[in-house]
Amino acid sequence: MNRQKRIVTGFKLQGLSLRGDAASLLVKHMSSCQDDRELDKMVDKVLDALRQQNLKSALVNKAAIEAALAECSESDSGENPLVVIDAFSIPRFYYNAERKKFVSGPKDLPLFGAAKEKTAIFRERYAILLQRTMRHELFSPPAPGVDPGVAPSKFKLKTIEHVLSSAVTGDKLVVLAMLAQIKEGRWYLEDPSGTVEINVTSATFHTGLFVETSFVLAEGIYDGEFFIVSAVGFPPSETSVDTRSYFGSINFFGSPQGRGKMSDKMALLEQKHSNATIVLLSDVFLDDPQVMAHLNILFSGYSEAPPTAFVFMGNFSTAPFGVEKNETFKQCFDSLADLIQLFPEIIDQSQFVFVPGPLDPGLSNILPRPPIPDCLTEYFRDKVPNVAFASNPCRLQFCTQEIVVFREDLINRLSRACIRVPNMDTLMADHLVKTLISQAHLCPLPLHARPIYWSHDHTLRLYPLPDLVVIGDKYDSYAINTSDCIVTNPGSFSRSGYEFKVYIPGTKQLEDSKITDYAAMQTN
């Protein structure tokens, strides 16, 4: 009790008070302190961490204490340069058009949102894309003091409501709206002001995979019945630097306190880890002996210079998961743990991140997916302590760099849902990257094609754009840089000859890698 009183008194001297659960957490955390002097020193550290949180109230809750303790723990350990951010912990922001700023949304969101959350998904996506498009040089009005006749904007966005009133004029109009199939076989454009049926028989489709619920820029003329579309494209993208120049240091990414992209502390830490590497693998079938043999080669090659992290994406089994396969799946991870035990340097210096695939165990296949259940990975976590079983998608913060990891067969899913066959003169990877970056979303499919928890749609946003987006896809590997954002697919490790990619944060470059034939190595 004396210890708790001393902690509470230390906070009162700084004008703060503790909730009961917050005080209990601190007492438990500081139970290892040997004397009052060490206790006071720890209290000062926690208070310093709290000051960085910009507390809104003098009454400190448990969540604020947990964040402060996490910050102190990182500081004491010399700062781990890599932090894994679970999708369900990502903060929600929505754009307020009246205030022209992003406003923090509710916290502790339920898994299953109310019906209003379903419509909020598309309103919020539209608001983000509209404000971003209106800032683009093709749509923004002339700067103050500039003669509009000298520097007019090239296009002026109109609402659907305006389109419906323009039948008499026959003017060519440009709208930003969502593709919708309100009646089967008939396509519409929809925005908050209304809907209009469209005719796209003579329309030119630009690069991208256009599916239902995509937001598009459509140019055309309204004839009183249909909006006759002459050209369809996606909204323009925007670099992260440009976005942050308007919205400052808002923590969109969900970075822990003090680890934001604008942190000077993290920038210095990044310089210290200029030689860091992150190994990216997808479709790692742990029940395939050949895959395990090639993983042995992989770890052997890295044993002398371990990377900062190995990021493994599912599926982790050749067969779909089922109740009867629980033990088999668990044994796969047990075997992997035993393999990694042969390389103590890697255990000491590398972090392991596991992102579940569509056929891996877990809750129903709705995005975002929670991590692989603990009951199947207990042995692995005991043998390899520096491991994170992450959600799908998840986010990685390496110092100031933001990395999004998503395991999904996107090219296949989006191609099947397209309303128009894409131009095959352009690589499918280019179509996909254009779609994701322009939509500012990892999975812009209709909800019936790829279910999403309505209240957690924000966890799939790509806004502001991160430094790296890793898509674990069965499609051929690629790496495309657009708007200062690299989008890559490391390829299927098990199906494509054991290919993987290595990301070097210090230079923001990706290296193509491949493990040569195992049998050939055995003979050398």
Q: Can you list the residues of the chain whose pLDDT is less than 70?
A: 1, 34, 48, 51-56, 71-78, 142-153, 257-258, 321-324, 517-524
Q: What is the DSSP letter of 519?
A: H
Q: Where are the alpha helices (DSSP H) in 248-325?
A: 264-272, 289-302
pLDDT tens sequence across 512-521: 999 986 444 4
Please state the φ and ψ torsions of residue 217, each to the nearest 5 degrees: -100, 120
pLDDT for 257 equals 60
Q: What is the DSSP letter of 180?
A: E
pLDDT for 391 equals 97
Domains and CATH numbers, the chain: 2-78 (1.10.8.60), 157-233 (2.40.50.140), 255-523 (3.60.21.50)
How far, in Å, are 124, 159, 222 from residue 156 at the CA level?
A: 21, 10, 16
For residues 489 and 474, what is the distance between their CA atoms, to the nearest angstrom? 9
With beta carbons less than 8 A apart as the criterion, state whether 225 and 247 touch: no
Beta bridge partner(s), residue 313 = 282, 355
- DSSP assignment of 42-56 equals HHHHHHHHHHTT--S
Q: How many residues does the chain have?
A: 524
Residue 509 CA, chain-centre distance (Å), reads 19
Beta bridge partner(s), residue 312 = 281, 354
- Other Cβ atoms within 10 Å of 54 Cβ, number: 7
With beta carbons less than 8 A apart as the criterion, state whether 477 and 491 touch: yes
pLDDT for 519 equals 47
Residue 30 CA, chain-centre distance (Å), reads 35
With beta carbons less than 8 A apart as the criterion, state whether 350 and 309 touch: yes
pLDDT for 66 equals 81
pTM of the model: 0.85
Which residue type does 101 have?
A: K
- Other Cβ atoms within 10 Å of 301 Cβ, number: 11
Which two tokens mark 411? 């090219």
Give the residue among 200, 178, 202, 203 at the shortest CA–CA distance from 190: 178
- Other Cβ atoms within 10 Å of 524 Cβ, number: 5
